Amino acid sequence: GFYGDRWKQVLIPKSSPTKAYFDTSDQDPFCMYNYLLDITTWNKSIRRGFIKVKITDYAGNIVESGMNSEASTFQQYKRVKILTGFYRDLDKISKISLTFSTKTLIGPKHKLRILQMKLKSLNNPER
Whether the pLDDT of residue 12 is over 90: the answer is no
Q: What is the pLDDT of residues 61-71, one digit of tens each?
A: 999 987 667 88
Give, as one character, the DSSP assignment of residue 31: B
- The tens digit of pLDDT for each residue in 74-119 reads 999 999 999 888 888 888 899 999 988 887 766 667 788 999 999 9
Establish if 20 belongs to a structural domain: no
Whether 6 maps to a domain, the answer reads no
pLDDT at 37 over 80: yes
Domain extent for 41: 34-121
Residue 63 is predicted with a pLDDT of 93
Report yes or no: 67 and 83 within 8 Å, Cβ to Cβ: no
What three-state secondary structure class fits 105?
A: coil
Residue of higher predicted confidence among 14 and 94? 94
CATH assignment of the domain containing 113: 2.60.60
**Domains identified in the chain, total number:** 1
